Amino acid sequence: MIVRLGDFHYQCLKVLNLENMIKVSVLISYLLASVYCSGEFIVLHAPKSIQFKGQEKLDESLLKEVYSAALGQPIFQSSKWSGMYFTDPFNLAESIVTIAVDGITDLDNGKGISFPLNADESEVDVFGALETRIYEQDPDAQKNIIRIDLSQGLDSIQSYNFLNDIKSVEPEKQYKHLKVGFKEDRQFINELQLLNAITEKIESGAYQRSPAPSVFWFKFSAYKSVVNFHGENSTAANEAKVLLLDAIARLQSAFKKLYSGDVLVNVLTNEISHKRVARATSNEVKEGSDSFDDLNLASTYNENFPVIFNIILWFSVIMAFTLLAISVVIGDMDPGRDSIIYRMTSTRMKKEN
């Protein structure tokens, strides 16, 4: 078999181009995944009547629909996401427990069922929407909706009576690699201590289980600071990760026991949520200001505004076309044949004898 050098060179280029195209495609796919999947939704425990399967990407804006469906609440947005199944619609979750770990893509804990999360909405907005829905369905359930930002320390638990006995979050022991002398480590330890103290309260029965739907939302912010300060693969970061995973596992066990398994426990990670918060705070009112006039805010409309607007708009459109049609018909009317008005007012009207 004779192969010319030119043909051989052309075939080699085709192979090389194909390989390059594959590499480029893989790179583009990876970049797209890193852009649109900037977090993770990890289901650690779900009631027997709810099953989570697969690894399909989930938009964070749909989480409120997932939570609402798990609680048996109405949902307002349809979705093609196929990661959630119901085997018994009459025995759903009584509570949602969410641990939102801010500033990281994933925890890589190897437990539970994880789904890539497209962070198209902040966790604050998800919680707010879920809170509003539950409150509208049952106003008495408002007292069972609890959100605790662990970075705010004891101030974040003052409004919850069953947590009033927690007086301090000072470190109770020495850690192997984390140092209290570092601000980043100290903040992480304080948040961890507060989370463990809350877990102890749940374990002790300080919180009484309620038949109304309940939501427990914990925001953990300091882990990212430890990773940034010490390095992702540092011994301090690894120790912090192990401690955080242990605290989450303990919290899961406490709520699982409290609700006899009828609880949805999940972890949210979101790498860009802290950036969104930073942008949001840049437009806040200056300290000591009592007015919002200088913010150039849009007008506030009542929730019935869209309905009223549509009624007036379409009524006006129909009325305009109706008047136009009437005008055209009258304009084309034959006075001698079609209109009784013209015939009865004629000067030469025929009379019967």
In a domain, 117, yes or no: yes
Say how far apart CA 267 and CA 43 lie, in whole Å.
Answer: 7
Same domain for 321 and 275, yes or no, is no
In a domain, 87, yes or no: yes
For 51-100, how does the pLDDT look when each residue is reduced to its tens digit (9 = 90+)?
A: 999 999 999 999 999 999 999 988 888 888 999 999 988 889 999 999 99
Model pTM?
0.67
Q: CA geometry: angle at 270 spanning 69 and 85, to 5°?
A: 25
Same domain for 231 and 269, yes or no, is yes
Same domain for 317 and 207, yes or no, is no
Grade residue 136 by pLDDT with cuts at 50, 70 and 90: confident
Residue 19 has pLDDT above 70, yes or no: no
Same domain for 75 and 208, yes or no, is yes
166-179 burial: b if 16+ Cβ within 10 Å, else e: beebeeeeebeebe
For 245-267, how does the pLDDT look when each residue is reduced to its tens digit (9 = 90+)?
A: 999 999 999 999 999 999 999 99
Same domain for 61 and 109, yes or no, is yes
pLDDT (0 to 100) of residue 277: 40
- Cα–Cα distance list, 39 to 27, 177, 269, 276, 324 (Å): 19, 27, 5, 14, 57
Same domain for 271 and 332, yes or no, is no
Same domain for 329 and 275, yes or no, is no
Amino acid (one-letter) located at 70: A
Q: How far is CA 310 from the centre of its chain?
A: 29
- Which among 240, 266, 281 is the end of a domain? 281
User: Chain-wide mean pLDDT for the chain?
Assistant: 80
Q: Say how many Å lie between the first and final Cα of the chain, rounded.
A: 120
Q: Phi, psi (5° rounding) for residue 217?
A: -125, 115
Same domain for 135 and 224, yes or no, is yes
In a domain, 248, yes or no: yes
pLDDT (0 to 100) of residue 348: 57
Residue 346 has pLDDT above 70, yes or no: no
How many domains, the chain?
A: 2
Sign of CA dihedral 33, 37, 39, 45: negative
pLDDT (0 to 100) of residue 299: 66
- Which among 281, 316, 336 is the end of a domain? 281
DSSP three-state, residue 42: strand
Same domain for 208 and 337, yes or no, is no
- Which among 265, 281, 297 is the end of a domain? 281
In a domain, 213, yes or no: yes
Arithmetic mean of pLDDT, 200-225: 92
The closest alpha carbon to 220, from 255, 268, 172, belongs to 268
- Percent of the chain surpassing pLDDT 90: 52
In a domain, 101, yes or no: yes
Both tokens assigned to 59:
């938009």
Same domain for 149 and 242, yes or no, is yes
pLDDT (0 to 100) of residue 265: 97
In a domain, 349, yes or no: no
**Residue ranges making up the domain that contains 336:** 305-344
Residue 275 has pLDDT above 70, yes or no: no
